Structure 1
Amino acid sequence: MKIKTLAIALCLFSLPFAASANPTLLEKTRQEQQIQKTHNAEREAGFKLTEKEVRAKRNALIAERNRLQRETELLSKSFSKNENKLAKLEEQLRLETGSLGELFGVVRQAAKELDTEMAFSVTGADHSNYDAVVNEIVAAKALPSITQLNGLWLGMTEQIQASTELRQVSVPFINGEGHQSVVQAYRLGSMGLIADQGYISWDGKRHVATPYLKQPENGPSVSVMSQLNESGLQAVVVDPSRGVMLEQLANSPELKDRIEHGGVVGKIILGLLAVGAVIALFRGVKLMMIRQQIKAQLKNPTKPGNNPLGRVLNVYSKAQNRSVEALELRLLETIVDEQQGLEKGLSMLKLLAALAPMLGLLGTVTGMIETFQVITQFGNGDPTVMAGGISMALVTTVLGLVSAMPLLLAHNVLSTQADNIRNILEKQGISLVAEQAEKAGSAA
């Protein structure tokens, strides 16, 4: 530190000598010092001016704050005064209106109900004379006038009269292909509209009619309604729910729809049922014919025919000169051959009967997997999203059980018939062996 101070002192001490040695450098140094002083003076003046401006702004803001506080106090007093005045006026209005306030609420409620009725009922297809009055009452903030009350009453009367009418009307109609036209229809009171294809759905918001996806059995048409309008007496299928039941009718699946819900597995099960039914029918007819042939053969045992019993008798006639043991073996061989013919196809029936419920279980598992995949993708908030997988799971189970039961029944019936025929053949074979043994014993 001392060394640094000594160096500075030497420099200051050497300046006069340098200045005397170089007057130009000294003059330049003085000019720079003068410029520096001028610059410092300007900065100080700027600082003082900025301080004045800040103080002025601060004073202005304080004054504005005081003014706003005064205005807030005045507004608060005015608000309290107006609130008290409003409370007194409301109490005065309540006392002066009396029961008219309740009347206003009842009128508005009735107007809302009538507005909903006119918007969605089929009577809106040809009755809309008081829509404006009803809308005014619904949107009103004050008591309705006498004119508005009369309009509301006339609108309600109009709807009541329209609900008792059978009238032919012209309505805009959009078919299933999206083409719009004007069709003639009958309005059955406030229950529904009936066109050529049956009931049609009325959209009061768009003021247009659309067809239902499915019509009820023996549903009415324009021709039926014309007869009803002329004769005054005709049986007609009506929907008192104003279209709700007709819309739900489309959700009730038919047999074809249920089969479609079963998917590929369901169709395979039905294919197995068809194959089993063909086999069962063919074998049933065949066994019935064999049974009739055996009955006819039993009545004429001396003439063997082309049937199982005839072939057994034919073996006996050819082996009469053989021993009893040889005859018994030949008859047993023939009966076994006939038994194979009698039971032909029954093992396939049994296999199909066992395979059908297993395929149903496969469809159930597949449907549940699909349902879980849908839940993973879309969540379980909407049941209709999961309906496809659940339908497949349930329908395939039902189809598997329904297919297995008749196949099992057919297998049991046909097996019983084959066993009965085999028993007849065995009984006749034993009698023939016994007869041969008696002959051999008498000869000995």
Structure 2
Amino acid sequence: MRPFSLHKLPLMVALLSLGLAQPSFATDTLTSKAKAAQQQEKQHNAEREAEFNKQEQKLAARKAELEKRKAQLDASIESLSTAFSDNEQALAEQQKKLHLETGSLGELFGVVRQSAKEVQVELEHSVANTEQTEQIAAINDIVAAKILPSIEELTGLWRAYQAQISSSATYAELQVPFVAGNGEITKLDVVRLGNFALLSDHGPVDWDGKLASDFPRLPQSAPTSTDAAGIVTGQTAAFIDPSRGDIYKQLADNPTLGERFEQGGIVGKIIAGLFALGMIIALYRAVVLVTTEQKINKQLKTPDTPTDNPLGRVLSVYNSEKQLHVETLELRLLESIMDEQQHLERGLSMLKLLAALAPMLGLLGTVTGMIETFQVITQFGNAEPRVMAGGISMALVTTVLGLITAMPLLLAHNLLSSKAEAIRNILERQSVGLVAEQAEAQTSEQEDAYAA
């Protein structure tokens, strides 16, 4: 160990003094900083308190203002409620007073308005409305009125009735706007008969209150404007539709035979074609069979001279083959009869096929029409029957066409088959008689040979 040096003692004392003095200096610095921060915080809190007080004063003022306004609104509501109640009571009293003062005039007003509406509807569809514009205006005023009618309005209603009565007993020549088939609007010269008919040079025309147009269909004896004078004087008898065209429109709703056939569509046309083909075959075969029967009847009178007919051909086979044995001759005659039967029944199988095919095609049209109807129902619903009428018409018309075609074809097939069967029976009876005659002859020859 080295000995402690005395000359270093003062330095150590100084260092020790310095170390003891340093903590006191740090403490003073922290204290001053804390005091400064505390002072700053106090100042910040004072500023915030001042701001809060200011906001509190503003909110208090706003609250006072709103409370004042609320009080004013409450007072206004109370005043309005009181006024409303008073008005309701006054209105009830006035209505009661009005009811007592009007008495039966209210019922009169209702009757007048109802009568005016009836006349208004009448004038809207009347063919004489072009000559009654003044009456129409008076009636419209009465219908639109909300108060009791005046004497002038009641007089206008009476004049409208009088004008309708007067015009129903007269006829006049005038011009009306007319809508042609191409949509063009022109002027048409017509004769008005009363309040229900307009006659042009081509017959009655439809009038909807503003425009005239042709009816879809008219009867053959429909009158024209040239017949008007004779109709009025009673010199000309003609059918006049008193319903202002409703009967003519119903006539248009009844389709003709051609229109019903058109409703059958392509299937109906095919059935009609099969019917025509079957009837041609049936008529041709009927002529052939009747002619053949007549020839056979003539041949029965002259059996020794065969001609060109089924029986004559069978006799020719017999004359050429009668030297054969009876059984062989019988087979040859049977063969000849079978050939003739084939010719007699030619076309009858086609008639039977057509008669069976027609109802099946009718059923096909029915199914097709119902499919179309269901498609229409899917698209538009079933609220409007006119929308579904096309498919239902096709379904029913094709069924009817199929049955109408099948019945006469079946009848023709039955009659022609019976006629062919009758001719075949004649041939068989004649051939059996020839075979029996030949058998007797051969038996007689054999007996003579045995006797010899």
TM-score (norm 2): 0.85
Counterpart position of 1:64: 69
The DSSP-based 3-state class of the residue aligned with 1:184 is: strand
Counterpart position of 1:372: 374
1:97 aligns to 2:102 (yes or no): yes
Counterpart position of 2:258: 256
Once residues 368 and 157 of structure 2 are traced to their aligned partners in structure 1, the CA distance between those partners, rounded to angstroms, is: 59
Counterpart position of 1:225: 228
Contact 1:125 1:169 in 2 (8 A): no
Q: Aligned-residue CA RMSD in angstroms?
A: 2.6
When residues 261 and 49 of structure 1 are mapped into structure 2, their CA distance, relative to the original with a 3 A threshold, is: farther
Code of the residue aligned with 1:216 in structure 2: it is P
Once residues 248 and 48 of structure 1 are traced to their aligned partners in structure 2, the CA distance between those partners, rounded to angstroms, is: 94
Counterpart position of 1:212: 215
Code of the residue aligned with 1:441 in structure 2: it is T
State how 1:13-412 maps to structure 2 within 5 Å. 17=29, 47-204=52-209, 207-229=210-232, 232-412=234-414
When residues 16 and 270 of structure 1 are mapped into structure 2, their CA distance, relative to the original with a 3 A threshold, is: farther
The DSSP-based 3-state class of the residue aligned with 1:235 is: coil
Counterpart position of 1:437: 439
Code of the residue aligned with 2:134 in structure 1: it is N
Contact 1:118 1:128 in 2 (8 A): no
Instruction: Please state how far the C-alpha of 1:353 moved relative to its aligned partner.
Output: 0.6
Instruction: Please state how far the C-alpha of 1:104 moved relative to its aligned partner.
Output: 1.2
Give ranges in structure 1 of 5+ residues lacking alignment.
Answer: 1-12, 21-25
Once residues 170 and 49 of structure 2 are traced to their aligned partners in structure 1, the CA distance between those partners, rounded to angstroms, is: 100
Q: Answer with 408-417 or 313-322: which moved more.
A: 313-322
Once residues 275 and 309 of structure 2 are traced to their aligned partners in structure 1, the CA distance between those partners, rounded to angstroms, is: 30
Once residues 273 and 400 of structure 1 are traced to their aligned partners in structure 2, the CA distance between those partners, rounded to angstroms, is: 9
Give ranges in structure 2 of 5+ residues lacking alignment.
Answer: 1-24, 447-452
Once residues 199 and 253 of structure 1 are traced to their aligned partners in structure 2, the CA distance between those partners, rounded to angstroms, is: 20
Q: Answer with 130-139 or 346-355: which moved more.
A: 130-139
Contact 1:126 1:169 in 2 (8 A): no
Once residues 28 and 214 of structure 2 are traced to their aligned partners in structure 1, the CA distance between those partners, rounded to angstroms, is: 116
When residues 315 and 115 of structure 1 are mapped into structure 2, their CA distance, relative to the original with a 3 A threshold, is: same
Instruction: Please state how far the C-alpha of 1:324 moved relative to its aligned partner.
Output: 1.9
When residues 154 and 380 of structure 1 are mapped into structure 2, their CA distance, relative to the original with a 3 A threshold, is: same
Code of the residue aligned with 2:311 in structure 1: it is L
When residues 46 and 384 of structure 1 are mapped into structure 2, their CA distance, relative to the original with a 3 A threshold, is: farther
When residues 46 and 357 of structure 1 are mapped into structure 2, their CA distance, relative to the original with a 3 A threshold, is: farther
Query: Between Structure 1 and Structure 2, how many residues are aligned?
Result: 421
The DSSP-based 3-state class of the residue aligned with 1:387 is: helix
Instruction: Please state how far the C-alpha of 1:264 moved relative to its aligned partner.
Output: 1.9
Larger Rg over CA atoms = 2
Once residues 371 and 116 of structure 1 are traced to their aligned partners in structure 2, the CA distance between those partners, rounded to angstroms, is: 37
Once residues 246 and 304 of structure 2 are traced to their aligned partners in structure 1, the CA distance between those partners, rounded to angstroms, is: 77
Once residues 105 and 211 of structure 1 are traced to their aligned partners in structure 2, the CA distance between those partners, rounded to angstroms, is: 39
